[in-house]
Amino acid sequence: MRLALCLLAALLAPALSARTILAIGAHAGDMELTCGALLAHQSRLGDRVVLLHLSLGERGKPGVPPETYAAQKKREAEAAAKALGAEVLFGPWQDGDVPTTDEAARWVAAQIKTVQPNLVLTHWKNSIHKDHAAAHRLVVNAVLFAAIEGTRTVRSVYYAENWEDSEAFQPYLYFAVEDRDAEDWHKAALAYEFTHAPFSGFDYIRYYDGLRMVRGAEARRRLAIAFDIEPTGKRRVLDALP
């Protein structure tokens, strides 16, 4: 009987400890490139991982109508999510038009209410791309709106390291990345044409491969990815010298 109870507890343990992670990016591709290795890792551990792309990023391919590229980006986003073991949701906004209104934040809050995440990942507050900065503001407000309306599942919000969002970003939390996480990241990243096509003008694969090595060296691990958090979250209060 005791053995049966132990076996039952062991079977239930992963389910009981499983988290739900919601990664919210301005454009399809943002969260996979910045957080994909962690998302793959956590998915393998049994967590539920959900990607929410506020826009498809459909205005990024020169000479291709946004409607045509949107269809391509949606297919690519679905393939990338599959490579990471994630579900994928799409927002209603167009590339370049991600708003910062309370109405938009309430739409994101409704997604939070539906998904019930414990951890939310999104952009850092500063960016050379207005949609990224808008996504940050939307998510911060959405977490607040969701909490006010009774959804208090979100325990943490982490900000991803993105080459476009680097101003004043300080790596604070480091997560070790295994080779198989990096392999899944590669599958997800390569699902998007823009990561390796000349038209984007940026070598995403080389940048994020290199970044994982740099953050890994800093963390005394082979590979790692880093996140920042709200400055108030870094406050430590002690009653005596440690």
Tell me which residues touch Zn ion (CB under 5 A). Answer: 26-27, 30
**DSSP result, 7-62:** HHHHHHHHHHH--EEEEEEEETTHHHHHHHHHHHHHHHTT-EEEEEEEE--TT-ST
Our CB check for Zn ion shows the closer of 48 and 136 to be 136
Minimum separation from the CB atom of position 129 to Zn ion (A): 6
Our CB check for Zn ion shows the closer of 47 and 76 to be 76
Our CB check for Zn ion shows the closer of 30 and 58 to be 30
Minimum separation from the CB atom of position 219 to Zn ion (A): 26
Our CB check for Zn ion shows the closer of 27 and 61 to be 27
Our CB check for Zn ion shows the closer of 26 and 83 to be 26
Minimum separation from the CB atom of position 23 to Zn ion (A): 13
Q: How far is the C-alpha of 10 from the C-alpha of 89, rounded, in Å?
A: 32
Q: In Å, how far are 73, 122, 164 from 125, measured between CA atoms?
A: 25, 9, 11
Side-chain-side CA neighbours of residue 50 (13 Å): 19
Minimum separation from the CB atom of position 26 to Zn ion (A): 5
Report residue 101 CA to chain centroid gap: 22
Minimum separation from the CB atom of position 192 to Zn ion (A): 11
Asked whether 58 and 98 are in contact (CB, 8 A), the reply is no
Parallel, antiparallel, or unpaired for β 224-228 and 156-160?
Answer: antiparallel
**Residues 6+ away with beta carbon under 8 Å from 45:** 14, 18
